[in-house]
Amino acid sequence: MQKRTYEINNGEVKQAIEKSGLELREFALLSLEKMNVKSKKKRIRQKALKKAFTQNEVAKEILLMVQGKKEVTANVKQEEKAETISESVSVRGLPVTFLLKLGKKYCKEEDVVRFYYNAEKEPFYKNKKLLEQMLESCPNQLDAEELVAFQQDVQAELDKRAKK
Q: What does the pLDDT look like over 82-105, one tens digit per residue?
A: 555 445 577 888 888 888 888 888
Average pLDDT over residues 42-70: 79
133 lies in a domain? Answer: yes
What was the pLDDT predicted at 80? 63
What was the pLDDT predicted at 132? 87
Of the pLDDT bands very low, low, confident and very high (cuts 50, 70, 90), residue 6 is low
Cα separation, 127 vs 130, whole angstroms: 6
What was the pLDDT predicted at 88? 59
73 lies in a domain? Answer: yes
Of the pLDDT bands very low, low, confident and very high (cuts 50, 70, 90), residue 53 is confident
Let me know whether 132 and 106 are in one domain. yes
Q: Which of 59, 138, 62 is nearest to 104 (CA)?
A: 138
Is the model's pLDDT at 68 over the cut of 80?
A: no
pLDDT tens-place string over residues 103-161: 888 888 888 888 888 888 888 888 888 888 888 888 778 888 888 888 888 888 888 88
Is the model's pLDDT at 13 over the cut of 60?
A: yes
Q: What are phi and psi of 81, to 5 degrees?
A: -65, -40
Output the pTM of the full model: 0.46
1 lies in a domain? Answer: no
Let me know whether 78 and 15 are in one domain. yes
Cα separation, 62 vs 66, whole angstroms: 6
Of the pLDDT bands very low, low, confident and very high (cuts 50, 70, 90), residue 20 is confident
Average pLDDT over residues 19-24: 75
Let me know whether 72 and 93 are in one domain. no
Q: Which of 82, 101, 117 is the last residue of a domain?
A: 82
Let me know whether 64 and 117 are in one domain. no
| Domain carrying residue 72 | 11-82
Count other C-beta atoms under 10 Å from residue 51's C-beta.
14
Is the model's pLDDT at 38 over the cut of 80?
A: yes
Q: Is 71 left (phi over 0), alpha (psi -120 to 50) or beta?
A: alpha
| Identity at 102, one-letter amino acid code | L
3-state secondary structure 57-117: HHHHHHHHHHHHHHHHHHHHHHHHHHHHHHCCCCCCCCCHHHHHHHHHHHCCCCHHHHCCC
What was the pLDDT predicted at 108? 83
4 lies in a domain? Answer: no
Let me know whether 36 and 94 are in one domain. no
Question: How many domains does the chain fold into?
Answer: 2
Q: Which of 41, 59, 82 is the last residue of a domain?
A: 82
Burial 77-102 (b: 16+ CB within 10 A, else e): eeeeeeeeeeebbebeebeeebbbeb
What was the pLDDT predicted at 43? 92
Let me know whether 121 and 138 are in one domain. yes
Q: Is 126 helix (H, G, I), strand (E, B) or coil?
A: coil
2 lies in a domain? Answer: no
Q: Which of 57, 82, 107 is the last residue of a domain?
A: 82
